[in-house]
C-alpha cells in the first residue's frame, strides 16, 4: 500500500487574519530545551536522521522529536526551513505537491515554538498561516473532519498526529478535540480496539480497512501530545481523551510479539514484522505513566519494546526494520522511524528524572 500520493507557555499572536496563537508548547519542550543528553545511541540516531531526505510530515516529526529531546537550536533551524518551503496557502515544509492536507501541520508546533523563542516575525507568520489553513481552507468532511489529502475525499489515521497537536498548542483545543472525535468516528473499531487506515467518502466505505500498525501508533502518540498540551481545566474532556489513548494502547498490546515487535498490520501475522509501532507504543506509555493516565503496570511491556527498538539501531545510527520509506510497504529505514526513536528516548528519560 502506498502511503503517500506523491509516490504512485502562553504566546498570543494577533496577525492580519486575526488568529490567536497561544500556548507555544505544553509538551514539555520549553522546559527541557537545554540541549540533548549524553546518550551516544540517541546521538547516532539523530545524526542519521538529519542526513535523510524529508517530505513535509518527515520534517515535522523530526523537528517534533528534537523539540521533545530538548535540542532548541536544531528545532529553530528546521522550523526556518519548513517556513521557507511553505506553499502559498500556508502549508509548511512543502518540497513537492504531494497533496498533503494534514501532513504539513506536523511542522506547526516546532515553528510556533521557534517563533516564541526567537521573536522572528517570519516564523510567527508561518505559524499563523498554517493555522489559518487548518481553520479556513483545508478540505473536510461534512462534519468538519480533515481530509488527509486534497485530491481525494479520504480520512487517514496519520492525521491524528499531524493536525490536532498543533491545534492544541496554537490555542485551539476545542478544534483539536473535535478532530480527534471525527477521526475516531470514521476509523475506530471498538471490537478490535484498533484504528483502520483510510476512510473514503466517495466510496462511503474504507479504502483500506486494515489495522495498520504504524497508523495506530500515530494515533496513540498524537492523542498523547494533545493531552499534554491541553490547557488547565477541561477535566471531563481530558478524562475522555485519556480513555481513548488507553483503548488503543490496549488494542495494540493484545498483538505484541514475545520479541517486543508488532506486525505491520497488527492482527495479520502474515504481514512483515516492523519496529515503529513498538517505539510509538513505548513513547505513549512512558508519557502516560509520567502524566498519571497510564498505570505503572504497563511499564514492563514498554521497556521490552524500547529494548527491542534499541537493538535495531545499526552502527550508522539507522533504526532498521521500521515500515520503510519511500513506499512504506516493507521493512527498511525512514525519517519517521528515527524520530520515533528519539521521541521514545525523550519520554523514557523524562520518566526517569
Split into its structural domains, the chain has a count of 1
| pLDDT at residue 37, as a whole number | 57
The pLDDT profile of the chain, 353 residues, written as one tens digit per residue, is: 434 433 333 233 333 333 445 444 445 443 334 445 578 999 999 999 999 988 899 999 999 999 999 999 999 999 999 999 999 999 999 987 778 999 999 999 999 999 999 999 999 999 999 999 999 999 999 999 999 999 999 999 999 999 999 999 999 999 999 999 999 999 999 999 999 999 999 999 999 999 999 999 999 999 999 999 999 889 999 999 999 999 999 999 999 999 999 999 999 999 999 999 999 999 999 999 999 999 999 999 999 999 999 999 999 999 999 998 898 999 999 999 999 999 999 999 999 98
Residue 8 covered by a domain: no
pTM exceeds 0.85 for this model: yes
DSSP of 124-168, one letter per residue? HHHHHHHHHIIIIIS-B-TTSPBPSBSSS-EEETTHHHHSHHHHH
CA 250 to chain centre: 19
Cell of 164: 490536532
Strand 205-208 and strand 198-200: pairing? antiparallel
Residue 4 covered by a domain: no
| pLDDT at residue 23, as a whole number | 46
Residue 72 covered by a domain: yes
Residue 219 covered by a domain: yes
Domain hosting 340: range is 13-351
The span from the CA of 116 to the CA of 285, in Å, is: 29
Cell of 302: 514498554
| pLDDT at residue 29, as a whole number | 43
Cell 523514557, residue located? 348
The span from the CA of 287 to the CA of 283, in Å, is: 6
Residue 5 covered by a domain: no
Residue 41 covered by a domain: yes
| pLDDT at residue 12, as a whole number | 34
Residue 177 covered by a domain: yes
- Quote the crossing angle between the two packed helices 40-51 and 56-69, to the nearest 10°: 160
Are the CB atoms for 37 and 183 separated by under 8 Å? no
| pLDDT at residue 325, as a whole number | 85
Cross-strand bridge partners of residue 189: 194
The span from the CA of 14 to the CA of 20, in Å, is: 5
| pLDDT at residue 10, as a whole number | 29
Q: Tell me, what CATH number does 297's domain have?
A: 1.50.10.10
The span from the CA of 197 to the CA of 187, in Å, is: 7
Residue 277 covered by a domain: yes
| pLDDT at residue 9, as a whole number | 34
List, in sequence order, the alpha helices (H) in 23-107: 29-32, 40-51, 56-69, 72-84
The SS3 of residue 36 is coil
Cell of 189: 473499531
Amino acid at each position: 500500500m502506498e502511503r503517500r500520493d506523491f509516490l504512485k507557555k502562553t504566546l498570543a499572536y494577533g496577525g492580519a487574519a486575526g488568529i490567536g496563537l497561544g500556548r507555544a508548547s505544553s509538551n514539555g519542550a520549553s522546559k527541557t530545551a537545554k540541549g540533548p543528553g549524553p546518550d551516544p545511541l540517541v546521538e547516532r540516531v539523530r545524526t542519521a536522521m538529519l542526513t535523510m531526505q524529508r517530505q513535509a510530515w518527515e520534517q515535522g516529526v523530526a523537528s517534533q522529536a528534537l523539540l521533545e529531546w530538548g535540542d532548541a537550536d536544531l528545532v529553530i533551524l528546521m522550523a526556518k526551513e519548513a517556513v521557507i518551503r511553505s506553499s502559498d496557502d500556508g502549508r509548511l515544509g512543502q518540497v513537492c505537491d504531494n497533496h498533503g492536507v494534514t501532513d504539513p501541520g506536523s511542522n506547526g508546533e516546532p515553528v510556533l515554538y521557534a517563533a516564541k523563542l526567537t521573536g522572528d516575525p517570519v516564523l510567527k507568520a508561518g505559524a499563523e498561516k498554517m493555522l489559518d489553513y487548518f481553520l479556513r481552507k483545508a478540505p473536510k468532511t461534512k462534519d468538519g473532519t480533515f481530509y488527509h489529502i486534497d485530491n481525494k475525499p479520504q480520512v487517514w489515521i496519520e492525521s491524528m498526529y499531524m493536525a490536532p497537536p498543533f491545534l492544541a498548542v496554537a490555542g485551539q483545543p476545542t478544534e483539536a478535540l473535535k478532530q480527534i472525535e471525527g477521526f475516531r468516528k470514521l476509523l475506530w473499531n471498538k471490537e478490535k480496539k484498533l484504528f483502520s487506515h483510510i476512510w473514503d467518502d466517495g466510496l462511503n466505505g474504507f479504502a483500506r480497512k486494515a489495522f495498520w500498525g504504524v497508523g495506530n501508533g500515530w494515533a496513540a502518540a498524537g492523542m498523547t501530545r494533545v493531552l499534554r498540551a491541553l490547557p488547565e481545566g477541561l477535566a471531563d474532556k481530558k478524562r475522555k481523551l485519556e480513555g481513548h489513548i488507553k483503548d488503543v494502547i490496549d488494542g495494540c498490546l493484545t498483538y505484541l510479539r514475545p520479541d517486543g515487535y508488532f506486525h505491520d498490520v497488527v492482527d495479520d501475522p502474515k504481514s512483515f514484522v516492523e519496529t515503529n509501532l513498538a517505539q510509538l507504543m513505548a513513547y505513549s506509555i512512558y508519557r502516560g505513566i509520567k502524566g498519571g493516565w497510564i498505570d505503572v503496570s504497563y511499564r514492563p511491556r514498554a521497556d521490552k519494546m524500547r529494548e527491542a527498538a534499541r537493538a535495531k539501531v545499526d552502527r550508522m545510527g539507522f533504526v532498521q526494520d521500521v515500515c520503510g520509506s519511500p513506499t512504506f510497504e516493507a521493512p527498511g529505514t525512514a525519517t519517521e522511524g528515527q524520530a520515533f526513536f528519539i521521541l521514545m528516548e525523550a519520554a523514557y528519560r523524562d520518566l526517569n528524572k
